[in-house]
Amino acid sequence: MKLITSLAAAAMIAVASSVSFAAEVVKGDITIVETWTRATPPNARAGGGFAKITNSGSEADRIVAASSPVSKKTELHEMAVVDGVMKMREMEDGIAVPAGGTVELKPGGLHIMFMGLNEPLKEGETVPVKLTFEKAGEVDIILSVHKMGAKGMGHGHMKHGKMPKKDN
Ligand SMILES: [Cu+2]
């Protein structure tokens, strides 16, 4: 039991150290950290971008637009379960960042959506994104591309080459 626990801890440390985020970005009252995205399968048309955005000011702000050279269109989306079905919709009024509050863009929730990827996002690469805030203005962030998500990506971890043969 003890061995398993320490192995698990070691694995967690290994994961933590391999997940590197770009430095935080500060613009006015807005601070953006943990900017990342996920690698996409070869023929994926879309990908999601994630970040943690804090507004230290006394006035609410709002992300009104996003853009990136990696896709034809970049939108602000929300994913939510509606009547038991996972649905995604564009946030037409943008994403509010309340005064003194933090908004987390994360898988399964609010996210930046890359629509019409020019090419797949590859692990270890970076994706530049420009966010436009109503008050703070334009903020450039860099998303680090992490491993393909194991969930909801049917073609994840597909290996090229031969399948190993059984000996018997
Ligand atoms: Cu989306």
CA-to-CA dists, residue 90 to 7, 28, 87, angstroms? 42, 26, 10
CA nearest neighbour of 67 among 114, 119, 28 = 114
User: Looking at residue 82, what is its pLDDT?
Assistant: 86
What mean pLDDT comes out for the span 23-27?
A: 91
Separation of CA 3 and ligand 1 centre (Å): 41
| Whole-prediction pTM | 0.76
Instruction: Convert the pLDDT of each residue in 115-133 to its tens digit.
Output: 999 999 999 999 999 999 9
CB 112 within 8 A of CB 76: yes
Q: Is the dihedral of CA 54, 58, 59, 60 positive or negative?
A: positive
Q: For residue 82, which amino acid is it? A: V
Distance 21 CA to ligand 1 centre (A): 22
What pLDDT does residue 6 have?
57
How far apart are the CA of 77 and the centre of ligand 1, in A?
A: 5
For position 57, what pLDDT does the model report? Answer: 97
- Quote the ligand 1 centre to 22 CA distance (angstroms): 22
